[in-house]
Chain A
């Protein structure tokens, strides 16, 4: 039998992101993941979970100037995900509570997953 669960998705604007995250936190939802797909633009998906149900919020950023407000005020645990976004994708995150400024991941190539460096891997 198929076990496929319902996964609702809501697309919001960058400006209302922190407010929506604050609402989810006061309702009792836990932050579980922040996913980024970097192709023609940056698509960020924030996943929350409560009582075994999952809920997703999506924000779309333009390719040339990716700036994002941080949600570490309602969710302090988001600092690991947002530092990873800075180090791997080159997205600038403002008002981070614990900012490592690019030293969280020790990499030899800067921002390896950013769209410009994508191409067929030899």
Chain B
């Protein structure tokens, strides 16, 4: 009978971008089960609604996470606009789409670098982040900040990009697209990448649906579901389909994210060619009363914002269900039965954004 040992993984670990704790129960280098435990960076942001009014909560919502910061701000604004039934002008919807897709490209390039670092390919990690730097320069030029965009507000957006700026954005993005194509070719063809990721962390289609997986984890197991098809912002006017792979292992999830990278470039070019003229925001009066669920697609999956107002300046309840929180049960399931050396690869393939998970 083999002896069982318990090895703690995290919260400090070189491969983890943010602290999460897993107790791994091992039998001679094979993981039998994993017990998660979170709460290291719980900041209690949901309780701040008692102190700050609903305009200032936009700034708080943007700062829940650094990587998916713009889409958090956009989802909060969409939730309040759903409660108060505000009609956002068209140009603002297109600008939100362009910035949202830039945020998605930045997040996927960051993830590709971290994933390469997880199985030890450090030079590929550095090259991915070098390509990402150019994208952060464009974001700083159009919005003012590299990571926190600060450009979404209730009723529209806060600043505009004129026609000259949009042309410059498009030409810079074509250069970045060519450079990232060279990198994703390495992820697709390199032998060492394939040997570490094929047949690791298998998740079948039925398990993915019953365990509540979201985002690329769901799409890599054969389920075609992307919350952008709901038609918010300008996505109902652009031409695109969700990206699906059927293998269900880490290699399939990596391929889903690489192909989503090209889809984002294509969506930005389409949005730039179709953008409408007009005002960028609308005046907002009154206080929110009622409740609404806003569902938006973040780079990591589907996020749900619940907002409840009772007619005063402070909201009654503000709740965020982030995609990494919904991906914790599939993580626990895929870790059972894997080797100890595959644990970092599997933990990174759910794209953990722990500061989102425990706002």
Q: In the complex the two chains form, is B51's CB within 8 Å of A120's CB?
A: yes
Q: In the complex the two chains form, is B39's CB within 8 Å of A107's CB?
A: yes
Q: In the complex the two chains form, is B329's CB within 8 Å of A79's CB?
A: yes
Q: In the complex the two chains form, is B47's CB within 8 Å of A33's CB?
A: no
Q: Does B269 contact A (CB under 8 A)?
A: no
A5-B230, A35-B321, A106-B38 known; A76-B210 Cβ under 8 A: yes
Residues of A within 8 Å of B63, CB to CB, are none
Q: Does B266 contact A (CB under 8 A)?
A: no
Considering the complex, which residues of chain A in the window 1-58 have a beta carbon less than 8 Å from any beta carbon of chain B? 1-5, 7, 30-33, 35-37, 39, 45, 47, 52, 54, 56
Partner of A3, one of B39, B227, B232: B232
Q: In the complex the two chains form, is A32's CB within 8 Å of B230's CB?
A: no
Q: In the complex the two chains form, is B85's CB within 8 Å of A4's CB?
A: yes
Q: Which partner residue on chain B sits nearest A45 by CB separation?
A: B306
A3-B231, A112-B44, A112-B47 known; A76-B211 Cβ under 8 A: yes
Alpha-carbon separation in the docked complex, A47 to B321 (Å): 11
Q: In the complex the two chains form, is B212's CB within 8 Å of A105's CB?
A: no
Q: In the complex the two chains form, is B42's CB within 8 Å of A121's CB?
A: no
Q: Does B317 contact A (CB under 8 A)?
A: yes
Q: Does B48 contact A (CB under 8 A)?
A: yes
A52-B229, A54-B293 known; A32-B316 Cβ under 8 A: no
Q: In the complex the two chains form, is A105's CB within 8 Å of B316's CB?
A: no
Partner of A30, one of B82, B209, B230, B233: B209
Residues of B within 8 Å of A1, CB to CB, are 87, 90
Q: Which partner residue on chain B sits nearest A87 by CB separation?
A: B39
A103-B37, A112-B47, A113-B46 known; A32-B231 Cβ under 8 A: no
Our count of residue pairs bridging A and B at CB distance below 8 angstroms stands at 93
Q: Does A118 contact B (CB under 8 A)?
A: yes
Residues of A within 8 Å of B304, CB to CB, are 32-33, 47
Q: Does B328 contact A (CB under 8 A)?
A: yes
Alpha-carbon separation in the docked complex, A121 to B47 (Å): 8
Alpha-carbon separation in the docked complex, A49 to B109 (Å): 30
Q: In the complex the two chains form, is A2's CB within 8 Å of B42's CB?
A: no
Measured CB to CB, the closest approach of chain A to B265, in angstroms, equals 24
Q: In the complex the two chains form, is A37's CB within 8 Å of B210's CB?
A: no
Residues of A within 8 Å of B306, CB to CB, are 33, 35, 45
A35-B319, A76-B210 known; A47-B326 Cβ under 8 A: no
Q: How many residues of A contact B (CB 8 A)?
A: 36
Q: In the complex the two chains form, is A4's CB within 8 Å of B302's CB?
A: no
Q: Does A94 contact B (CB under 8 A)?
A: no
Q: In the complex the two chains form, is B50's CB within 8 Å of A80's CB?
A: no
Q: In the complex the two chains form, is B292's CB within 8 Å of A7's CB?
A: yes
A105-B358, A107-B42, A113-B47 known; A37-B316 Cβ under 8 A: yes
Q: In the complex the two chains form, is B212's CB within 8 Å of A104's CB?
A: no
Residues of B within 8 Å of A7, CB to CB, are 292-293
Measured CB to CB, the closest approach of chain B to A12, in angstroms, equals 17
Measured CB to CB, the closest approach of chain A to B154, in angstroms, equals 14
A37-B317, A77-B329 known; A121-B51 Cβ under 8 A: yes
Residues of A within 8 Å of B300, CB to CB, are none
Alpha-carbon separation in the docked complex, A118 to B302 (Å): 30
Q: Which partner residue on chain B sits nearest A79 by CB separation?
A: B329
Q: Which partner residue on chain B sits nearest A109 by CB separation?
A: B44
Q: In the complex the two chains form, is B85's CB within 8 Å of A2's CB?
A: yes
Residues of B within 8 Å of A36, CB to CB, are 319
Measured CB to CB, the closest approach of chain B to A7, in angstroms, equals 6
Partner of A77, one of B210, B233, B293: B210
Task: Spell out A's residues near B (CB within 8 Å).
Answer: 1-5, 7, 30-33, 35-37, 39, 45, 47, 52, 54, 56, 75-77, 79-80, 87, 100, 103-107, 112-113, 118, 120-121
The 5 closest A-B pairs by CB, nearest first: A77-B212, A106-B39, A105-B39, A33-B321, A77-B329
Instruction: Write 28 A-B pairs (CB below 8 A) sorted by A numbering.
Output: A2-B86, A2-B87, A3-B232, A3-B236, A32-B321, A32-B326, A35-B319, A37-B308, A37-B317, A39-B316, A47-B304, A54-B293, A75-B210, A76-B210, A76-B211, A77-B211, A77-B212, A80-B325, A87-B39, A100-B37, A104-B36, A105-B358, A106-B21, A106-B39, A120-B51, A121-B47, A121-B48, A121-B51
